Amino acid sequence: MKILHTSDWHFGKKLEGMKRIEEQEKFINNLKKIVQGEKPDLILIAGDIFDTPNPSAEAETLFFESLKRISLNGKVGVVIIPGNHDNGERLAASKSLVKDIGVIIYKEPYEIKNVGKYSNMEILESFQGGILLKISEKKMFLYCLPYPSEAALNETFEDGKYSERIGEILKEGIENNKEDVPVVVMTHLFVTREDKEVELGGSMAVKVKDLPDVDYIALGHIHKPMKFTSKRACYSGSPIEYRSTEKNFLKKVFIVQVNGNFDTNIKEIPLENYKPIKEYIGNSIEEAIEISNSLKEKEEWIYLKIKTKTHLKSSDIRKIKENKNIVEIIPILLGEETYDEEIDYSEINIKEAFLEFYKNKDGITPSKEIINLFEKLVGDDE
């Protein structure tokens, strides 16, 4: 069985308020070409399809269109689980419609899917979270565990036992398989090589050693592609650079050939970078305006740092922002103390807090008019 593994699409996600939907569309076109070239039997999408539980209509439209495109209108099977960013119920709302184009969407852990045909894919047997799949005469057992929070699993994890408990759930899940077929697990959680408990985004970590021994584990959650070879467990990572910290590694999807008996072959396919995140530094306001101008036609998201002795005028900001790809202007005031330290706003009065906040955010002191306006708005009754 040949699988294409991807995750963390985060449709609808923005960068400093800027939409990424065009890049997300480009990714889907890119992915469709990969599907046409690699001809996988099955596509696994390991969660965080959307960036929020209530995605925009635009993001949802793209999702539905994506399913049609990447499944090549139902020729290639697709299985999807929700991640921590998704609302499982909403994600799976279209499940009876997309069934006909060979798409299976889970809404929650332990869900029992209906047996039968899903276009070219067939569920031969169904268990809690597990399905015995048949695709063009090849069989495979797939266990799906959507983002396993306490609420989703309806249980409370004992302190320090999260990793063990998740391992137990996965091992019990695959025990339902009685056939000599490849076994694959798909889940959305934080896996760590560390041996101590750590937290990421409020979710606990699962230690590599607690993962079950199966032919492949398709992981979602971490945006950087990663392999835990001892368990044949991989994060495909997100398809797009979603933060500037993601600009230092390639985005990928994985093509996985599972032959059974742990004979698994993993191939990494790099994705195009549709609009990279870049940082530039101007040594003066004039230079910053020049830089901004010269980059107008470039498909790049730009963080522009400006070294300056004076505060930025709004006319300067306007000139810089003629380049629509500038996501943030970061003034570095020379010869003044920097405002790096965290300020406890509850400890100072509201006007001081506003001044501090403004200086912190924009690196400049607000004008008299702005201060007056602010005082008017909050009703200066101190």
Judged by the rule CB under 5 A, the positions of this chain that interact with Mn ion are: 48, 83-84, 221
Residue 243 · residue 51 · CB < 8 Å:
no
Question: Does residue 35 contact residue 73 with C-beta atoms inside 8 Å?
Answer: no
CA dist 56 and 142 (Å) reads 31
The answer to whether residues 138 and 144 touch, using CB atoms and an 8 Å cutoff, is no
Contacts for 152 with CB less than 8 Å, ≥ 6 apart: 88, 108, 109, 146
Place of tokens 């990572």: 237
- The nearest distance, CB 191 to Mn ion, in angstroms, is 12
Minimum CB–partner distance for residue 65 and Mn ion (Å): 23
- Rounded CA-CA distance 6/231 in Å is 18
Toward Mn ion, which CB reaches closer, 2 or 251? 251
Q: What's the sign of the alpha-carbon dihedral 176, 181, 182, 186?
A: negative
- State the minimum distance, in angstroms, from the CB of residue 276 to Mn ion: 22
Nearest in space to 154 (alpha carbons), one of 142, 169, 172, 173: 169
User: Burial of 198 by CB count in 10 Å (0-12 exposed, 13-18 middle, 19+ buried)?
Assistant: exposed
Q: What is the DSSP code string of 143-192?
A: EEE----HHHHTS-PPTT-HHHHHHHHHHHHHHT--SSS-EEEEEESEEE
Residue 131 in tokens: 């399905």
Q: How far is the CB of 7 from Mn ion (least distance, A)?
A: 8
> Least distance in Å: CB of 189 to Mn ion?
8
By beta-carbon proximity to Mn ion, the closer residue of 77 and 225 is: 225
Pairing of the two strands 190-192 and 103-105: unpaired
CB of 220 to Mn ion, least distance (A): 6
**Dihedral over alpha carbons 144, 148, 153, 159 (to 10 degrees):** 140
Distance of CA 280 to the CA centre of its chain: 26
The minimum distance between CB 299 and Mn ion, in angstroms, equals 27
- What helix, strand, coil percent values describe the chain, rounded to 5? 30, 30, 40
Minimum CB distance to Mn ion, residue 125 (Å): 30
Instruction: Specify the residue, 48 or 215, whose C-beta has the smaller distance to Mn ion.
Output: 48
* CB nearer to Mn ion: pick between 151 and 377: 151
Q: 71 vs 187, which CB is nearer to Mn ion?
A: 187
Closest CA to 251 of 7, 2, 3: 7
Supply the minimum distance, in Å, between the C-beta of residue 190 and Mn ion. 8
Nearer to Mn ion, 199 or 352 (CB): 199
Q: How many other C-beta atoms are found inside a 10 Å radius of the C-beta of residue 153? A: 18
Q: Which is nearer to Mn ion, 35 or 206 (CB)?
A: 206
